Amino acid sequence: MAGMMGLSLTACGSTGNTGDGNAADNTTKESAAGDNASTNENASGDALSVMIWDTYQEPGLKKIMDDFTKETGIPTQIQVVTWNEYWTLLEAGAQGGSMPDVFWMHSNEAQRYMENDMLLDLTDKIKDSDKLDMSKFPEDIKELYSYNDHVYAVPKDIDTIALWYNKTMFDEAGVAYPDDTWTWDTLAEAAKKLTKADGSQYGLGMKSDTNHEGYYNIIYDMGGKVISDDKKTSGYDDPNTIKAMQYVEQLIKDGSMPSSQTLSENGPDVLLRSGQLAMAFQGSWMISSFKDDDYAKENLDVAIMPKDAESGRRCSVYNGLGWAASANGKNTDNAWKLIEYLGTEAAQKKQAELGVTMSAYEGTSEDWVKSAPEFNLQAYLDVRDDMVIRPYSRSTVIWENKTNELLKEVWAGNADMAETCKKIAEEMNASLAEE
């Protein structure tokens, strides 16, 4: 299995997508949870090392871990790194035996780590716990972190997608705000009207690797698919998938989106907050970056995603992170205590109340909506009747990276979308065949 680990995890890294809390922050920092963390170390040993990739979520998580430290006497040390660096460090730790005690796991990477016994098996611990009720978490999210009937992570959150828009720009252009009557055609027309010829303002921002919070939703609305249900074949050559991606191609041709270079330098969230974009698709995890931003609070709001004009379908691709621990860690008992605590109703409720992100625990969504009353966060809940789990397989990272490389050429105006989709299908099928 060690050889397989070396091969499979060399592909671990960014999909380019800053989704699921993948902060675009370029700093690495550490903070101790618990004001008395240093004094607790003498009683409880070294602080638990906790690694995450979203700097915006850190303040709220630190408060929750403060509560854990006060209750148990076990100190924690949070390390925040970039998305790319995160998977590089985790891979190195997995191979060198020095993984963090507790860390986030993502659906892109989970199966590789579970298959290779790098994650602490939580199955019996969960069964014996009188604090954790796994029935309160969504089945699809639990399934992401289960392998051969064993559980390797406790759900942290759940996410959906919504449309953020700049009210001031809409008012100036005389365009009505997005609502539940909007179709994808409505959005395309509005994006053209909201784009200024001098390049100072664009109607919509969506990067070539904005899949989860971007074009995946359009694909499923229009009857397409990214991967087959059995995860054996690509859906990119499906006529409906091609139709959806050609819709995206037309947005590019219309000039409604910034150049691929601009989008690569500053993500849609940054362009939104700096007054250069009228609209962008954002995951619910991004609220922690908007709720304390003065420009956002004054100018931005949230609407439900558009629907397909023909089918009427309006779905949201969704995902969720999990709290996991190293199988070979030196502090597995305390690591489990932290994971168990983070999965309790109290901790999940506080995560929602603080606006860290939408918690996975049943019944906490309303608390999250109330965490930022300046924005219509209800839009994220209103899509829950039709959700599609984020497409994944054992080789997700491999085929997503290849997809991103090919789509860059379309965004740059150097390739045809239909032909590119067929190439993506070929590349993806080759990856899936090797799983």
In a domain, 385, yes or no: no
Tell me the C-alpha distance between 370 and 39, whole Å: 36
Domain match, 134 and 150 both: yes
Domain match, 224 and 252 both: yes
Domain match, 100 and 117 both: yes
The 3 state secondary structure assigned to the chain is: CHHHHHHHHCCCCCCCCCCCCCCCCCCCEEEEECCCHHHHHHHHCCCEEEEECCCCCHHHHHHHHHHHHHHHCCCEEEEECCHHHHHHHHHHHHHHCCCCCEEEECCCCHHHHHHCCCECCCHHHHHHCCCCCHHHCCHHHHHHCEECCEECCEECECECEEEEEEHHHHHHHCCCCCCCCCEHHHHHHHHHHCCCCCCCCECCECCCCCHHHHHHHHHHHCCCCCECCCCCCECCCCHHHHHHHHHHHHHHHCCCCCCHHHHHHCCHHHHHHCCCECEEEEEHHHHHHHCCCHHHHHHEEEECCCECCCCCCCCEEEECCEEEEECCCCCHHHHHHHHHHHCCHHHHHHHHHCCCCCECCCCCHHHHHHCCCCCCCHHHHCCCCCEEECCCCCCHHHHHHHHHHHHHHHHCCCCCHHHHHHHHHHHHHHHHHCC
In a domain, 366, yes or no: no
Tell me the C-alpha distance between 34 and 47, whole Å: 10
Pick the range with the lowest mean pLDDT from 42-46, 115-119, 324-328, 358-362.
42-46
Among 370, 365, 328, 428, residue whose Cα is nearest residue 113? 328
Tell me the C-alpha distance between 206 and 257, whole Å: 7
Domain match, 134 and 239 both: no
Q: Which two tokens stand for residue 245?
A: 């991606």
Domain match, 197 and 259 both: yes
In a domain, 326, yes or no: yes
What pLDDT was estimated at residue 227?
99
Place of tokens 């558009």: 306
| Domain end (from 309, 343, 361) | 361
In a domain, 353, yes or no: yes
Q: Which two tokens stand for residue 423?
A: 């190439």
**Mean pLDDT over residues 1-19, rounded?**
34
In a domain, 378, yes or no: no
> What is the average pLDDT value for the chain, to the nearest integer?
91
Domain match, 148 and 33 both: yes
Q: For 119-177, what is each residue's pLDDT tens digit?
A: 999 999 999 999 999 999 999 999 999 999 999 999 999 999 999 999 999 999 999 99
Greatest extent of the chain over all pairs of C-alpha atoms, in Å: 65
What pLDDT was estimated at residue 97?
86
Domain that holds residue 138: 2-158+320-361
What pLDDT was estimated at residue 304?
98
Q: Which residues pair with 279 in a beta bridge?
A: 165
In a domain, 151, yes or no: yes
Number of domains in the chain: 2
Tell me the C-alpha distance between 103 and 78, whole Å: 9
Tell me the C-alpha distance between 91 and 99, whole Å: 8
Pick the range with the lowest mean pLDDT from 68-72, 152-156, 275-279, 288-292.
288-292
What pLDDT was estimated at residue 239?
99
- Confidence band for 17, pLDDT divided at 50, 70 and 90: very low
Domain match, 134 and 178 both: no
Domain match, 281 and 410 both: yes
Q: For 96-116, what is each residue's pLDDT tens digit?
A: 989 999 999 999 999 999 999
CATH number at residue 223: 3.40.190.10
Domain match, 133 and 235 both: no
Is residue 252 scored above 70 in pLDDT? yes
User: Cβ(49)–Cβ(101) under 8 Å?
Assistant: yes
**Mean pLDDT over residues 340-358, rounded?**
98
In a domain, 54, yes or no: yes
Domain match, 304 and 220 both: yes
Is residue 28 scored above 60 in pLDDT? no
**Mean pLDDT over residues 80-94, rounded?**
96
In a domain, 377, yes or no: no
φ, ψ for residue 262, nearest 5 deg: -60, -45
Q: Is 181 exposed, middle or buried (0-12, 13-18, 19+ CB in 10 A)?
A: exposed
Domain match, 170 and 210 both: yes
Domain match, 312 and 192 both: yes
What pLDDT was estimated at residue 8?
30
Is residue 20 scored above 60 in pLDDT? no
- Confidence band for 235, pLDDT divided at 50, 70 and 90: very high
